[in-house]
Structure 1
Amino acid sequence: MDDNNTESVSLKRSLSFALVTFYGLGTILGAGIYALVGKVAGHAGIFTPLAFLLASFIAFLTAISYAELSSRFPLSAGEAYYVRRAFGHDWLSGLIGWMVVFTGVVSAAAIAHGFVGYLRLFISIPSPLAMIGLIILLGAVAIWGIIESAMMAMLMTLIEIGGLLLVIYVAGNSLQRLPEVWHQMRFSLSMAGSSGVLAGAFIAFYAYIGFEDMVNIAEEIKHPEKTLPYAIFAALGIGTLLYVLVALVAILALPLEAFAQSEAPLALIFQLRGYPPSIIGMISLIAIVNGALVQIIMASRVMYGMAKQHNAPVLFATLYRRTQTPLIATLFVMAVIVMFALLFPIEMLAKITSAIILCIFIMMHLSLIAIKKRKEVQPNAVSYPILFPIAGAFLSALFLILQFL
């Protein structure tokens, strides 16, 4: 019998709260902090922790909308379905779905660049070869199976958390400079400083992208109506705490110019503190690999869900019978990631991802507002005040507009 089938094979509902939380946290903690924190510091300077906090506030409002929508409609290609349910337009639903796929692809391409920066701490290898090899390897893992992929993501996420805690420990004595820097921060947030914080927050916002990916594995989660909202908040909360602490010790421990220009910024902390940079370099590689794996899984699940909703070619709904994973969609995603990774630099990829994801977030807020105004009720689903999606839509739009002024 053919191993590929779209009729009798369905996604396996096997993920627990812990696995889903670590799945989301693994995406949030990937390239954002390990590869981009230096880029954020290049714009925000000593206000880098503030840039991360500003980005986290907008992400939190969006997480509330995602939590309620995913609890109401726990389906793959969730964003596309939410828009269709809210506005009834197939073309708009399809557009949002493809935008979600695009952000996953571009994000994974950015992560592949971060992988090369840390890999050079160990071996010298041409960047294109390293990025292609990474995507092929992770695509194979994604095809292997969702429970295997999620377990691997959880293990790598635990290593990531350990690495960030190690950074905080190694640079911990730099906190003695906090009163001095705090005094400087209080009196130097001028208009120029404010624009730097906003520019830094826009890049830092990329670091929070990941919690929304969790809704696209809803059909593989046990009791998603309750499990998924709690997992979204847990992942975002842990990620924010670690980001702010690492950003704080980093700006206190390193010269800002060197920190902003480094391709492996956290390894630089170890090097200047007399520790082998290879320690954090290896952990950073694992973190970056984890982030790319989750993006490949997410994008392929969105394409699978869209194909089932008739917003993508039916070929993408093909599941590999032995592993119950979307084979054709995963292979397509891998190919496009490689193309973007070879064509564009990391900072441009991060900015593109942030801009598109903000547009998607605005649509998610508007979708929830429309659904709540119709007073639709789903049994067992969570519900939050309508003020949250209204504030989220306004702030997301403002944040997006400010980047172009």
Structure 2
Amino acid sequence: MTHLLIDAKSSNNCKVDILLDSKHQSLNLFNKVEAELTLRTAEEAEKNSVEKVCKGPQPLDQPKIQLEHDASKRVLSCTKTFIKRLIARKPMEILQAEIDTRNELRRDLNWIQLLAIGLGCTIGAGIFVLSGQAAAKYSGPSVIISFIITGVIALLSSLSYSELGAMMPSSGSVYTYTYAAMGEYLAWFIGWNSALLHLFSVLTAIVTWSKYVVLFIDNVSNYNIKNMFVQAPVAWNEDEERFIITGQAINLLAIALTIAITILLIIRIYQMAIVNLVLVVFKIIIIIIFIFACCKYVNRNNYYSFFPPNKGSFSEYGVTGMLKGCTYVFFAYTGFESVSTVAQEAKLPERSLPIAIIGSTIISLLLYIVLCTVMVELVPYKLLDSDNPLSEAIKTTLYGLWLSIVMNLGAIASLTTVALTDMLSQTRIFYAMAHDGLLPSFFAEIHRITTTPWISIIISGIFCAVFSGVCPVDILGETSSISALITYIFVHIALIIMRYTHGDIQRIFQVPFGSWLIPTIGSSLCILLMRGITKPTVFRFLVWTALGQIIYFSYGFWHSKQRKSIKSASISSVTELLPTIASITEQYTQNELESDLASENSENAV
């Protein structure tokens, strides 16, 4: 028994020795670290003193410097966070999940109806009004070349739209593509300016429509509508670059058409698509009738001086005038992108969107070239400076009044489809932006019976009714052109980025000739066309953009769902770390207690 006690005591003494040795080793290690830190502190102090001697005596306010340093760090941190928020992209996983699960809008449209929407939005005021004005003011007979160049540019853009639309079939169109490729801020910028494109296209079509209605009534009857109720109270004087008072009251016909379109859009999109399809078929038949009826009356002498001599300025005839004409008539091709705004209402959008987008662009291009060729051969180009250039051209034929009436009907049908489809597109873009939180949620409110964004449609209808009653048509077309060019540039850039960042995603349709060739050529040509934009047009565009910045930073930035998801993810990350931190703290406390207990036991044993 005594031996056992001695052995136990010896064992305890050994444990105490081990603990003491461990403690001594820890103290030695601590002393070494403390000595090393002291040495480094002394070296840094000596270094600082040498620097002070070299620089000379300087007053030092350490607390103030520390506060300034902390403030600078906070400003830098806030700036980084702010920039990260602006360039935050919507992940493709979230975007695809939204497209798959968001079934508020009914998928009623087939590829024929989509093609009709593209043609309905494209063929309108650009060919019935701007073609003759471009020939008379800028290009002369070379307006044909202007239409070919702009048609090629539009075709390149339609290829990029087709790939992105098939990959991301969302109602946001270019807004959604930019959000996924370049981040929220640029998505807002291009979405807001895409809305400008469609709104001004609606206004241009409606105002021009009212003029053709007046002409039609004048041709078929002796009733003369008072100009006071069919013209805007202001007009744009291009020579003086300022607005002038016309002495008229308001354009009641434009307001009436806007109300009718608003009501039709609130009804189910299927009924709207049927109406649009009928009107599109009718206007294409009218254009074909004009081409075949007038082609035998052409006078090739009107081709003389295909490029009229330049008058001394960039925009008056010659090659530069032809380029100016490109900018002016580019508005005629804006519209094919409307197909992408109804992607969430299309059956099999991955296949039907490319067919409709590219098909509508090619058909429009062919019709424009043939129609312009016949028009400039019928009469001298200077006689085409009219709001109704095709009627001026018809005067040289034997068909006279009846063909003019038919063409007026075609123009009325054409401009109706443009206004209808453009307002449709604008409301769908606002719907997508509101769904992401960048606009108030009522823009995304869907009617439970008609399944249309009815509040957004009503607001757009009120806006168009007011402005179509007071705005002249000539300033609206060019403003739409600059917005379209910038929109197409963004689409090309978004395609290049998505090819490199999401190259693994399956694409049913791909732009040919590699990842960057077509988009680079297309965006470069769009930039070249922007040279012909006038300063007043740029000013109006900048005013609209500034208004968009105010809305974004006062509302969209703070209500963005993407911002809220990022914030929630950050909170979740911190929450996930809390158990780990608690576990580490608990383990550390337990180790401290064991160390203290071992120390007490060793002291008692001694």
Q: TM-score range by the shorter chain?
A: over 0.9
Secondary structure of the 1:44 match is helix
Q: Please, which of 288, 293, 307 is the counterpart of residue 434 of structure 2?
A: 307
Q: Please, which of 210, 231, 237 is the counterpart of residue 362 of structure 2?
A: 237
Q: Give a deviation string over 1:42-92, Cα, whole Å, max 9, x none.
A: 22111121111111111111111111110110000121111111112x222
Q: Please, which of 30, 46, 54 is the counterpart of residue 149 of structure 2?
A: 54
Q: Decide whether the 8 Å contact of 2:142 with 2:306 is kept in 1.
A: yes
What is the identity percentage for the equivalent residue pairs of Structure 1 and Structure 2? 26
Q: Decide whether the 8 Å contact of 2:302 with 2:378 is kept in 1.
A: no
Q: Which residue of 1 aligns with 2:331?
A: 206
Q: Which residue of 2 aligns with 1:120?
A: 214
Q: Decide whether the 8 Å contact of 2:302 with 2:376 is kept in 1.
A: no
Q: Decide whether the 8 Å contact of 1:9 with 1:321 is kept in 2.
A: no
Secondary structure of the 1:185 match is coil
Secondary structure of the 1:121 match is helix
Alpha-carbon offset, residue 189 of structure 1: 8.5
Q: Distance in 2 between matches of 1:189 and 1:373?
A: 45
Secondary structure of the 2:215 match is coil
Secondary structure of the 2:342 match is helix
Alpha-carbon offset, residue 270 of structure 1: 3.1
- How many residue pairs match? The answer is 395
Q: Distance in 2 between matches of 1:120 and 1:181?
A: 30
Q: Which residue of 1 aligns with 2:118?
A: 24
Q: Please, which of 348, 362, 370 is the counterpart of residue 489 of structure 2?
A: 362
Amino acid at match of 2:131: V
Secondary structure of the 2:169 match is coil
Alpha-carbon offset, residue 183 of structure 1: 6.4
Asked if 1:40 is matched to 2:164, the reply is no
Q: Distance in 1 between matches of 2:324 and 2:507?
A: 40
Pairs within 5 Å for 1:4-403 = 10-42=104-136, 43-88=138-183, 90-123=184-217, 124=225, 126-127=229-230, 128-175=251-298, 177-178=299-300, 180=301, 184-185=305-306, 192-260=317-385, 262-273=386-397, 274-276=399-401, 277-384=404-511, 385=514, 386-403=516-533
Secondary structure of the 2:204 match is helix
Q: Give a deviation string over 1:377-396, Cα, whole Å, max 9, x none.
A: 33353122221111111111
Alpha-carbon offset, residue 101 of structure 1: 1.2
Q: Distance in 2 between matches of 1:187 and 1:195?
A: 11
Q: Distance in 2 between matches of 1:319 and 1:120?
A: 37
Structure 1 186/44 Cα, relative in aligned 2: closer, same or farther at 3 Å?
Answer: closer
Larger relative CO (CA 8 A, sep 6+): 1 or 2?
1
Secondary structure of the 1:293 match is helix
Alpha-carbon offset, residue 269 of structure 1: 3.0
Q: Distance in 1 between matches of 2:319 and 2:216?
A: 38
TM-score by length of 2: 0.62
Alpha-carbon offset, residue 342 of structure 1: 3.1
Amino acid at match of 1:269: A
RMSD, aligned α-carbons: 2.0
Q: Distance in 1 between matches of 2:297 and 2:123?
A: 23
Q: Distance in 2 between matches of 1:82 and 1:115?
A: 33
Q: Decide whether the 8 Å contact of 2:126 with 2:333 is kept in 1.
A: yes
Q: Which residue of 2 aligns with 1:3?
A: none
Q: Distance in 1 between matches of 2:532 and 2:307?
A: 23
Alpha-carbon offset, residue 404 of structure 1: 4.8
Q: Decide whether the 8 Å contact of 1:9 with 1:319 is kept in 2.
A: no
Alpha-carbon offset, residue 157 of structure 1: 0.5
Q: Decide whether the 8 Å contact of 2:287 with 2:371 is kept in 1.
A: yes
Q: Distance in 1 between matches of 2:159 and 2:303?
A: 32
Amino acid at match of 2:133: K
| Larger Rg belongs to | 2
Alpha-carbon offset, residue 368 of structure 1: 1.0
Q: Decide whether the 8 Å contact of 1:205 with 1:354 is kept in 2.
A: yes
Alpha-carbon offset, residue 376 of structure 1: 2.6
Q: Which residues of structure 2 form unaligned runs of 5+?
A: 1-100, 218-224, 231-250, 536-606
Alpha-carbon offset, residue 343 of structure 1: 3.7
Q: Decide whether the 8 Å contact of 1:170 with 1:270 is kept in 2.
A: no
Q: Distance in 1 between matches of 2:125 and 2:176?
A: 29
Structure 1 189/92 Cα, relative in aligned 2: closer, same or farther at 3 Å?
Answer: same
Q: Decide whether the 8 Å contact of 1:320 with 1:326 is kept in 2.
A: yes
Secondary structure of the 1:310 match is coil
Q: Decide whether the 8 Å contact of 2:141 with 2:307 is kept in 1.
A: no
Q: Decide whether the 8 Å contact of 1:28 with 1:211 is kept in 2.
A: yes
Structure 1 380/54 Cα, relative in aligned 2: closer, same or farther at 3 Å?
Answer: closer
Q: Distance in 2 between matches of 1:252 and 1:313?
A: 52
Structure 1 64/197 Cα, relative in aligned 2: closer, same or farther at 3 Å?
Answer: same
Q: Give a deviation string over 1:208-255, Cα, whole Å, max 9, x none.
A: 000111100000111111110121111011101100111111111123
Q: Decide whether the 8 Å contact of 2:431 with 2:444 is kept in 1.
A: yes
Q: Distance in 2 between matches of 1:69 and 1:240?
A: 22
Alpha-carbon offset, residue 15 of structure 1: 0.9
Alpha-carbon offset, residue 334 of structure 1: 1.2
Q: Distance in 2 between matches of 1:108 and 1:50?
A: 27
